[in-house]
Amino acid sequence: MKIGILGTGGVGRTLGAHLSAAGHDVMLAGRATPHEVGEGWAAEAPNRRYGTFADAAAHGEVVLNCTSGLHSVAAVRAAGVERLAGKVLVDVANPLDFSQGFPPSLAVGNTDSLGEQLQALAPEARVVKALNTVAASVMVAPAKLPGEHVLPLCGDDAEAKALVRGWLQAWFGWQHFVDLGPIHAARGQEAWLLLWTRLYGALGTGDFNIVLSRAPQG
Ligand SMILES: NC(=O)c1ccc[n+]([C@@H]2O[C@H](COP(=O)([O-])OP(=O)(O)OC[C@H]3O[C@@H](n4cnc5c(N)ncnc54)[C@H](OP(=O)(O)O)[C@@H]3O)[C@@H](O)[C@H]2O)c1
């Protein structure tokens, strides 16, 4: 499968490494060419490439947004919303503002979310918010955590959400999902980072996730 990944940080490179190792044709993207990190990553395997945001948006049958959440709107605009029309755009980013140090605040929240902003920017893309609630190490290896831990996701397009569930199961082994509904549920998924970052501080590791305990259904 041709996969475009916007973002050359740890998340983009981790997801891209696993997907290319599984045989997918992966293009990682940053703002410019040349790009030392992106091109160095791409040089490690023949089915890895580096390109601009626009190149990766054109390349991917599915596109993953793994850019800094403060700049994801700019990155998707640079990718070209017309190149994303009809495609699934998996939004992995969180609008974290570290300008006042750790823990970060949310640059957008409560009455809006990054997921909604991206869907509004690219109305013909099928935005699915997913994977943003776990560390990169857990995204690609959910089986490392015991228990029936869950991955929340949301988006306006039911078929796109079904595709993403299938891909995340096939790519990384994700088993348990909670569909939170339309893309405005991204407000909740992104707000989770306010607790996630504090749990990270308390536990000293990012290798954790949510296990839902609920009463049996009668
Ligand atoms: N770290 C985790 O485990 C984790 C878990 C869940 C979600 N997330 C989210 O995943 C996203 C990626 O995180 P990360 O740590 O891998 O990378 P990051 O450092 O947050 O972002 C790196 C990417 O953002 C791009 N970028 C930076 N400033 C930009 C600007 N002004 N305009 C356009 N693009 C810009 C960079 O482009 P260049 O390549 O051109 O420099 C780079 O590709 C973030 O939104 C983060 O909140 C992270």
154 in Cβ contact with 210 (< 8 Å): no
Domain membership of residue 39 (yes or no) is yes
pLDDT at res. 114: 99
pLDDT of residue 66: 99
Ligand 1, CB cutoff 6 Å, lining residues? 7-12, 30-32, 66-69, 71, 74-75, 92-94, 96, 132, 135-136
Protein residue whose Cα sits closest to atom 47 of ligand 1: 94
What is the DSSP-derived secondary structure letter of residue 142?
Answer: G
- Side-chain-side CA neighbours of residue 60 (13 Å): 33
Query: How high is the pLDDT of residue 218?
Result: 79
pLDDT tens readout for residues 137-150: 999 999 999 999 99
In a domain, 209, yes or no: no
Cα–Cα–Cα angle for 27, 29, 32, nearest 5°? 135
Which pLDDT value is given to residue 21? 98
Q: Which domain holds residue 143?
A: 2-203
With 0.85 as the threshold, say if the pTM is over it.
yes
Question: 139: CA distance to ligand 1 center in Å?
Answer: 15
**DSSP assignment of 18-46, as one string?**
HHHHTT-EEEEEESSSS-HHHHHHHTTST
Is residue 214 situated within a structural domain?
Answer: no
Alpha-carbon distance of 22 to 206, in angstroms, equals 24
- pLDDT means per 10 residues in the chain (218 residues)? 98 98 98 97 98 98 99 98 98 98 97 99 99 99 98 98 99 98 98 98 98 92
Q: What is d(CA 32, CA 184) in angstroms, rounded to the nearest whole number?
A: 32
H helices present in 48-157, as ranges: 53-59, 72-79, 81-84, 114-121, 136-139
Torsion sign over Cα 133, 155, 5, 102? negative
In 118-151, which positions are buried (b, 16+ CB within 10 angstroms) versus exposed (e)? bbebbeebbbbbbbbbbbbebbbebeeeeeebbb
Number of structural domains (the chain) is: 1
For the domain that residue 88 is a member of, what is the CATH number? 3.40.50.720
Contact, 139 vs 149, CB < 8 A?
Answer: no
pLDDT value of residue 143 = 98
Measured in Å, residue 93 CA sits from the centre of ligand 1 at 7
* 203 contacts: CB under 8 Å, gap ≥ 6: none
Residue nearest to atom 29 of ligand 1 (CA): 71
Q: Which tokens is 122 given?
A: 């690219």
